[in-house]
Structure 1
Amino acid sequence: MLTVVTPAASNLLTTVERARSLLGLGADVGTATALGRHIATASRVIADYCRRPFGVETLKQWGEGDVLNGIAFARTPVRSIASVSIGNADLGPDEYAIDTASGSLLRIGEHDVVLCWWTAPTIIYDAGYQLPTDSDAGDLPEPVERAAIILAGTYLAGAGRDPLLKSEDIDGVASASWYVPGAADQVLVPEVAQLLAPYRTFWP
């Protein structure tokens, strides 16, 4: 099981200034306001598509995992661990270790021997990325921020037009074709889906 103890302070995957710089947009207030709305929408769409938030959250995880090996963290990257407990007993920091390569928590015994957990622990930890601000780039993977900017720019460019219009040909006689989304079409920009592919999760 996984619950959020403290949600992320922000879920925005980029800022207006950073997006405007990449998209080559002007500094007028109207564009900035609209772009801010589209960034918020793009950030929500990407979080839903990847099945995870990206900002740093404090999480409580318990009651599941491979007790014979490492307990996989439901969210990564793990930034810090506040506590690890089994029943009412808290483990000391020398009794567990983070395996960064596998994204799991190992049980450590004497002489640094890796042990089985036998019982899944309760873990309270911080996980996620520092999201970019105008003064700090943070550590969000560049493809994720770029995907948010591309998607927000697409929303901005498509404002006022039929979102299902796929193509339009006006060459003597007007004709148009419309996009018919299927069940698997959650992000409509292929480049965005490609950028996000390594960051999609399917558990929990």
Structure 2
Amino acid sequence: MKKSFIIILMGVMSFLPSWAQEESKGFFKKHPFVNMTEFSLLFGRGKFENFYSFYRGYYPQPYEPTYQVKNHLNLSVQTFNGFYLNPKTAFGLTVGVDSYGSTILMPFSAGVRRTLLQKKQGGSILLGSLDAGYSTNWLNEDNTGFHTKGGISINPAIGYKLPMRNGSSWLINFGYRFQRADYTQERGDDYYWYESNEVRKYKRVVIRFGIEF
């Protein structure tokens, strides 16, 4: 009985790899893997709000919010990796690196890519995309007394996919990016100590250039 069980188990184990290989081939044939890597230019005019949460010392006093408005050009790179759920829709994970002046944020987002219009087979495609997630501060280095925290990141876009003969495609997209970040600064000495907090909501027009593999 024990020998029979071992023989059956060995037979099942020998069958599983070939079955899994066939299943994976069938899955990837039905749902092809896709990678879209893009470089972005981020244009915007930011209004930063500074406010002090509290002040402790011998002479406590409140601080009024202050504002600063500037034009900005920032850089970003991102890669979307996923699978085609059907010939027109791909779903996956988008990972990026965004530079906002001295701040580096790394957004992780759920992403979707959808063919909106294609007049002929093999021709250019009108492509819609949406990425939504949360940014981390993993790549950011803060000065002494400063603490940076990422936040919600949303990036809808629309553009064109231009197929090439080798199966890849050039990508150009125009969109909007919203990114929240929180900044904390701590200062003090033997006589006083205070903490200031700043909330920045980066709102940028985005132009993305890249390639799909």
Considering fraction of residues, name the structure with more strand.
Answer: 2
State the TM-score, normalized to the length of structure 2.
Answer: 0.26
- Structure ranking higher in helix proportion: 1
Question: TM-score, structure 1 length as denominator?
Answer: 0.27
**Larger Rg computed on CA atoms:** 2
